[in-house]
Structure 1
Amino acid sequence: MKIWQHILTKLQDNQTVYLLTVIENSGSSPGRKGFKMMVAKDGFIFGSIGGGIMEFTLVEECLQLLKEEKTSIFIKKQIHKGKIKDGSGMICSGKQTVVFHPLNKNNIADIKSISTALKKNTQGILRLSPTSFSFADKAADCRFKYEINALENWFFEEQINYKETLYIVGGGHVSLAVTKTFIQLGFHVIVLDNRPNLNTFVANSFASEKKIINYEFINTYIQKESTTYIVIMTNTYIDDLFVLRKLIKNNYNFVGVLGSKAKLKTMWHVLLKEGFTQQELDKIRAPVGLSIKSETPEEIAISIAAQLIQFKNN
Structure 2
Amino acid sequence: MKDLYEIIYEFLDRKESFVLATILEKFGSAPREQGTKMIIEKDFSIIGTIGGGIFEAMAIKLASKVFQSGNSIVRDFSLTNEGASALGAACGGEVKLLLEYIDFNDNKMLEIYRKASEIKRKGINFTFVTKIPEEGKAIKGIDKWICTEIGFFGEENDTVQSIFGKIRENFKNTAFEKVNKDGEEYLIEPIFNHETVYILGAGHVAQKIVDITKMLDFKTVVLDDREEFSNRERFKNADEVKVIPCFDNLLNYIKVDCRSYIIIVTRGHAFDKDALAQMLKTDAKYIGMIGSKTKRDFVYECLMNEGYSVRDLEKVHCPIGLPISAQTPEEIAVSIAAELVKTRRALI
TM-score for both structures, normalised by structure 1: 0.50
Q: Secondary structure at the match of 1:249?
A: coil
State the distance in 1 between where 2:175 and 2:226 align: 31
User: Does structure 1 residue 198 correspond to structure 2 residue 229?
Assistant: yes
User: Does structure 1 residue 233 correspond to structure 2 residue 265?
Assistant: yes
User: Could you tell me whether the CA contact under 8 Å between 2:220 and 2:239 is conserved in 1?
Assistant: yes
CA distance 1:119–1:253, shift in 2 (3 Å): closer
Q: Secondary structure at the match of 2:308?
A: coil
Question: 1:237 offset after TM fit, Å?
Answer: 1.0
1:297 maps to which of 329, 332, 347: 329
RMSD, matched Cα:
2.9
State the distance in 2 between where 1:313 and 1:138 align: 28
Moved more, 194-203 or 166-175: 194-203
Moved more, 166-175 or 195-204: 195-204
Correspondences of 1:212-291 after superposition (within 5 Å)? 212-213=243-244, 214-291=246-323
Q: Secondary structure at the match of 1:250?
A: coil
Question: 1:162 offset after TM fit, Å?
Answer: 3.8
Q: Secondary structure at the match of 1:203?
A: coil
Q: Determine the structure 2 residue equivalent to 1:118.
A: 171
Q: Determine the structure 1 residue equivalent to 2:203.
A: 172
User: Could you tell me whether the CA contact under 8 Å between 1:257 and 1:285 is conserved in 2?
Assistant: yes
State the distance in 2 between where 1:179 and 1:292 align: 19
Q: Secondary structure at the match of 1:178?
A: helix
Q: Number of residue pairs matched?
A: 177
Unpaired stretches in structure 1, ≥5 consecutive residues: 1-32, 35-108, 124-136, 141-160
Q: Determine the structure 2 residue equivalent to 1:22.
A: none
Question: 1:201 offset after TM fit, Å?
Answer: 7.0
State the distance in 2 between where 1:216 and 1:173 align: 22
Larger Rg computed on CA atoms: 1
TM-score for both structures, normalised by structure 2: 0.46
Moved more, 294-303 or 165-174: 294-303
State the distance in 1 between where 2:189 and 2:289 align: 34
Correspondences of 1:77-96 after superposition (within 5 Å)? none
State the distance in 2 between where 1:183 and 1:120 align: 14
State the distance in 2 between where 1:227 and 1:251 align: 8
Unpaired stretches in structure 2, ≥5 consecutive residues: 1-122, 125-161, 177-187
State the distance in 2 between where 1:272 and 1:305 align: 28
State the distance in 2 between where 1:122 and 1:198 align: 26
User: Does structure 1 residue 306 correspond to structure 2 residue 345?
Assistant: no
User: Could you tell me whether the CA contact under 8 Å between 2:174 and 2:190 is conserved in 1?
Assistant: no
Moved more, 163-172 or 267-276: 267-276
Give the letter aligned to residue 176 of structure 1. Q
State the distance in 1 between where 2:232 and 2:166 align: 36
2:241 maps to which of 210, 228, 231: 210
Identical aligned residues as a percent: 31
Give the letter aligned to residue 243 of structure 2. I
Question: 1:113 offset after TM fit, Å?
Answer: 6.7
Question: 1:221 offset after TM fit, Å?
Answer: 1.5
Q: Secondary structure at the match of 2:242?
A: strand
State the distance in 2 between where 1:194 and 1:220 align: 14
User: Could you tell me whether the CA contact under 8 Å between 1:190 and 1:208 is conserved in 2?
Assistant: yes
1:185 maps to which of 204, 216, 237: 216
State the distance in 2 between where 1:199 and 1:216 align: 16
Moved more, 273-282 or 248-257: 248-257
Correspondences of 1:61-80 after superposition (within 5 Å)? none
State the distance in 1 between where 2:302 and 2:204 align: 27
Residues 203-234 of structure 1: CA deviation (Å, up to 9, x unaligned): 12111111111211212122132211111000
